[in-house]
Amino acid sequence: MGEQRRPLQPGDPAPAFALAAANREGIVSLDSLRGRAILIGLYRGLHCPFCRRQVLQLAGVQDALRPMGVETLAVINTPVDHARLYFRYRPTPVTLLCDADCVTHHAFGVPYLEFLPEGGGERSEWPYRASMAQFEAARINPTGELPEAVQPMEANAVFNAKDGFELDDIDSAIFESHGTQLVGHFLIDAAGIVRWVQIEARDGPNSLCVFPDAEQMVAAARNLEEPA
């Protein structure tokens, strides 16, 4: 297993990116946004119901952040044509960028989980490496909508059914390639320096799909007035 890059930390420069937008024309890059602060969420593909919900939450947060000089971006691990079709029927004011290969996620150091071979004796190092048993033992209820916490894959199935979302071949292919990609949120100041970081499930698999809420993101933006 290859060594993963660790997540960027406050004080680190944000990596360059240039990604196609799903709900506007053209390419959006870090350079094109230079001089403005950015809150960027790096999500799994449309197959993840909790990521879809977080994109919706960003739309509400955007109204609070924009007067503070902060733009919001959502990067989804979905091909751009597929994302355009989905968001044509479920529009959002948040700028949606597409990265089907998770290149931007990896540049920011957002971890992806690798499963250890059974009986190999390798040490678990969450959130980078874990046994299948460790993952299967996880129980989550991140939005509080379930009567009790359930296994993450069961939670995905329940919420996709609730949303009427059926994975097609494109969603299934993305899930097969990047299903264990975690989610990261980064606040970048106008000079391109990371000022705040939140990585999904840093403290263990039971916090999978727990993302920052509106209050946390707005509080982080207020801190931009403090020196880096």
Q: Are 212 and 221 in contact (CB under 8 A)?
A: no
**Bond preceding residue 67 cis, omega within 30 of 0:** no
pTM above 0.85, yes or no: yes
Fold topology of 18-111+167-225: Glutaredoxin (3.40.30)
Position 2 scores a pLDDT of: 60
Query: How far is Cα 127 from Cα 156, in angstroms, rounded to an integer?
Result: 19
Position 228 scores a pLDDT of: 53
Query: How far is Cα 182 from Cα 42, in angstroms, rounded to an integer?
Result: 8
Mean pLDDT, range 209-227, rounded to an integer: 91
Question: In the beta sheet, which residues pair with residue 140?
Answer: 150
**pLDDT tens for each residue of 99-155:** 999 999 999 999 999 999 987 778 899 999 999 999 999 999 999 999 999 999 999
**pLDDT tens for each residue of 150-192:** 999 999 999 999 999 999 999 999 999 999 999 999 999 999 9
The answer for residues whose C-beta is within 8 angstroms of residue 217's C-beta and 6 or more apart is: 39, 61, 65, 185, 187
Position 227 scores a pLDDT of: 60
3-state helix, strand, coil in the chain (%, to 5): 35, 20, 45
